[in-house]
Amino acid sequence: MRPIRYNVAASLDGYIADAQGAFDWIPDDSTVDFATLFARVDTYLLGRRTWDTVRDTASAPFNPGARVYVFSRTLAPGTEQGVTVVRDDPVALARSLRHEEGSGEIWLFGGGELFATLLAAGQVDQVEITVVPVLLGGGVPLVAHLPERSKLSLIHTQTYPSGMVALHYKVLAAEGATR
């Protein structure tokens, strides 16, 4: 099974963007080894609002040749330059991608609503939050409303010189998870 990893930076109070949608509170820490962290990622899942912010950046952060899926109820479905806009149920697609052959990993890139939908459906395997040393006091929550609590199991922590702390967890209620 190919794991779905929700990997985001968040403020200590649990926001992935501030109230204006800004990310400029995330330090540019050159010691974070993104290449190793995401070496096996060949598939990306994004909500539409997250896509809007990524699309506007100069360089897309996606591995070459990777598949990118954007879930949207408003954009026109279809594939263009490796990016597939999907209007269908994200749960069904996520389940199908997790059960594909191979060892590639799936990066759930954001945001908090898509994460909540997939988490509640047991389709997220790992939650990887890089905690930024800042309090925002409001913004976009790292997870939207959940029908019930989701218990996690800590698997890894890492402290960076910038004061960011990576906290990696296994989702105990993931479909097919072993405790």
Rule CB under 8 A: which residues touch its own copies?
A: 11-15, 18, 25, 116, 119, 127, 129, 131, 133-138, 141-147, 149-154, 157, 159, 163, 165, 167, 169
Complex with its own copies: residue 12 or 92, whichever CB lies closer:
12
Minimum separation from the CB atom of position 125 to its own copies (A): 14
Q: What secondary structure letter does DSSP report for 72?
A: -
Minimum separation from the CB atom of position 138 to its own copies (A): 5
Minimum separation from the CB atom of position 56 to its own copies (A): 22
Minimum separation from the CB atom of position 75 to its own copies (A): 26
Complex with its own copies: residue 76 or 154, whichever CB lies closer:
154
Query: Measured between alpha carbons, how far is 81 from 84 in angstroms, rounded to an integer?
Result: 8
Complex with its own copies: residue 46 or 129, whichever CB lies closer:
129
Following DSSP, what letter does each residue of 81-101 receive, concatenated?
TTEEEE-S-HHHHHHHHHTSS
Strand 15-17 and strand 78-80: the pairing is: unpaired
Complex with its own copies: residue 64 or 147, whichever CB lies closer:
147
Q: Between the CA of residue 159 and those of 28, 31, 167, what are the distances in Å?
A: 14, 10, 9
Q: CB under 8 Å to 53, separation ≥6 — which residues? A: 17, 21, 23
Contact 115, 52 (CB under 8 A): no
Following DSSP, what letter does each residue of 120-132 receive, concatenated?
HTT---EEEEEEE
Minimum separation from the CB atom of position 42 to its own copies (A): 26
Complex with its own copies: residue 85 or 143, whichever CB lies closer:
143
